[in-house]
Structure 1
Amino acid sequence: MKAAVIDLGTNTFHLIIAEISATNVQIIYKTNVPVRLGQGRINENIIIPEAFERGIETLKNFKQKIDKYQVQQTLAIATSAVRSAANGIDFVESAKKNADIIIDVIDGDKEAEYIYKGVKATGTINGTSLIMDIGGGSTEFIICNDKELLWKKSYNIGAARLMQAYFHSDPINELDKSAIINHLNNELTDLKEACILHKPDHLIGSAGAFETFASMILKETHIENIKSAPIEFTAYNSLSEKLITSTHAARQNMPDLIKLRVDMIVIAAILTNHILSLSEIKQISLSTYDLKMGVLYSLSELKS
């Protein structure tokens, strides 16, 4: 069976088409578009008109690809930006009417479950691990092992939300950094308790910013061709320091740092550093599989 998954992220819309059987998921096409659905007013829970239009146009283009590949089942999954927006339902209705795409707006718990399934499929989980998926609108945390999911939660601390609320200096100054860290301390008390209880010793970053970290550290590795990779701890610390202390202009000239993430990567580094400190974890890995691969593997399970 050919299946398509559309992941309507706050920053990027992804389309992935795969041939699915009970024993295998074979990717035959994938693309992504930096729609920036959370542009401008994400913390006011509004999709602004320009972002709304970009999103619908992107879905129309995705539908053409889906038809071209004669896909039999399509799942379009919307997360934080759509589920929290006052006009999110308008976007869902417009997608159905104008792009013939039916969107399933999922909650944070379901999002975390799909992320776990995607990461698990890479074989990266060893022992008790903490999976972290930094989105634009929300960030998901999953404590797990390779047998089961032990704890999960989605928080509205995505990179776009934090950037719009707190990132007002260039390079980011101590005042802005302190405001972010104070906010994280207030938000993440139950994550800290869960880490004390379950003692994860491995942080697995799901796609997104962690692909950027890995690309900048593992320069000779083509991230798009791998399922997972270790990220050396001291190399990550050096990179995060470089990113946090750099200016916008300096980051624009850094190799392997895509335009969409030039500023959000600073937030991602501050957030990741905070999680490493909170959990006392010293081992980091990248999983290139995330929510969309988790959806495909869920479909594969249904066929078995």
Structure 2
Amino acid sequence: MKIAAIDLGTNTFHLIIAEKTGNEMNILYKTNKPVKLGEDITLQNRIIPAAFERGIHCLKEFSNTLKEYEVSKVRAVATSGVRSASNGEEFIESVKQQTGITIEVVDGNEEAHLIYEGVKASGAIQGKSLIMDIGGGSTEFIFCDEQGFYWKKSFDIGAARLMQKFFKSDPISITDQQNIQNHLQNTLTELIDFGKGFDAKTLIGSAGAFETYSAMLNPSLNIHQIPKAPIDIKAYHQLSQKLIASTHQERSQMPNLIPLRVDMIVMAAMITNYVLSNLDLQQITLSTYDLKMGVLQGMK
């Protein structure tokens, strides 16, 4: 049976198609589009008209691909960008009318659960770990081990949301950095309190920004063909310092830093650094499997 998962993120829409036979899953096709649905969403808490149209156009393309592959079952999941928008329901209705795709809005808990299932399938969880998925609108955290998860929560501190609210200088100023640090400190108290008792040693980065870190640090690594990979923590810290200190122009010329993430990677690095330092995590692992793979895993 051919199945498909669509992940409507705040920045990027993803489509993955697989052939499922019993417990075996063979990936047939995957793609992503930088839709930027959350563009300027913090201004009026709405999907702006240009982003609305980009989303519809992308899902029309996805609908045609689903037909080409003769997919029999589709699950389309929307997260923070649609969830928090005052016109999110209008977007869902327009998508249904124009593409035939039914969108399911998941709350932060379900989003974290799907991320856990995806990461688990990659084999990245080995011992006590903290999974972190930095999205555009929200960031999910899951404390877990191979047996299951013990705490999970979604926070509205996605890279696009932080960028729109705090990133006012180029390169980012000490004042902007301090404002972000204060915001993270105020927002993530519960995460840090639980984490200090849980004592995880490994940070597992779910796709997204962590794929960018990996690609920049190890250009020979084909992240499209592997489920997981280690990220050298010392090399990561050197990279994060470089990213935070650089201008937009300098970052735009860095190899393997895609245009969508040229500015958001600064926010991602600041979130990553905050979590690493406050929880004394000793190593980083990339999981290329994320929410969309978790959606596929749960489909029957």
State the TM bucket, normalised to the shorter chain.
over 0.9
Whether the aligned pair in 2 keeps the contact of 1:12 and 1:32 (CA below 8 Å) is yes
Give the aligned residue type for 2:119. Answer: V
Shift of 1:274: 0.2
Give the aligned residue type for 2:275. Answer: I
1:50 matched to which residue of 2?
Answer: 50
1:294 matched to which residue of 2?
Answer: 294
Shift of 1:278: 1.3
Whether the aligned pair in 2 keeps the contact of 1:43 and 1:165 (CA below 8 Å) is no
**Cα RMSD for the two superposed structures:** 0.8
Shift of 1:21: 2.6
Query: 1:43–1:124: structure 2 CA closer, same or farther, 3 Å change rule?
Result: farther
1:128 matched to which residue of 2?
Answer: 128
Shift of 1:42: 3.4
Structure 1 stretches of at least 4 aligned residues deviating more than 6 Å after TM superposition: none
Counterparts of 2:248 and 2:91, CA distance in 1 = 32
Q: Deviations over 1:135-186 (max 9, x none)?
A: 0000000000011111000000000000000000000010000000100000
Q: Secondary structure at the match of 1:89?
A: helix
1:65 matched to which residue of 2?
Answer: 65
Whether the aligned pair in 2 keeps the contact of 1:45 and 1:81 (CA below 8 Å) is no
TM-score between both structures, scaled by the size of structure 2:
0.99
2:94 matched to which residue of 1?
Answer: 94
1:14 matched to which residue of 2?
Answer: 14
Whether the aligned pair in 2 keeps the contact of 1:112 and 1:154 (CA below 8 Å) is yes
Shift of 1:44: 3.2
- Asked whether 1:244 is paired with 2:247, we answer no
User: Equivalences for 1:186-225 in 2 at 5 Å?
Assistant: 186-225=186-225
Q: Secondary structure at the match of 1:225?
A: coil
Q: Secondary structure at the match of 1:221?
A: coil
TM-score between both structures, scaled by the size of structure 1:
0.97
| Count of residue correspondences | 300
Q: Deviations over 1:228-270 (max 9, x none)?
A: 1000010000000000000000000000000000000000001
Counterparts of 2:25 and 2:170, CA distance in 1 = 44
Of 42-51 and 146-155, more deviation after overlay is shown by 42-51
Give the aligned residue type for 2:78. Answer: A
Counterparts of 2:278 and 2:95, CA distance in 1 = 40
Shift of 1:43: 5.3
Note the residue ranges of structure 1 that are not aligned, 5 or more in a row.
none
Give the aligned residue type for 1:287. Answer: S
Give the aligned residue type for 1:45. Answer: N
Counterparts of 2:41 and 2:105, CA distance in 1 = 20
Q: Secondary structure at the match of 1:224?
A: coil
- Asked whether 1:277 is paired with 2:286, we answer no
Give the aligned residue type for 1:14. Answer: H
Counterparts of 2:215 and 2:4, CA distance in 1 = 27
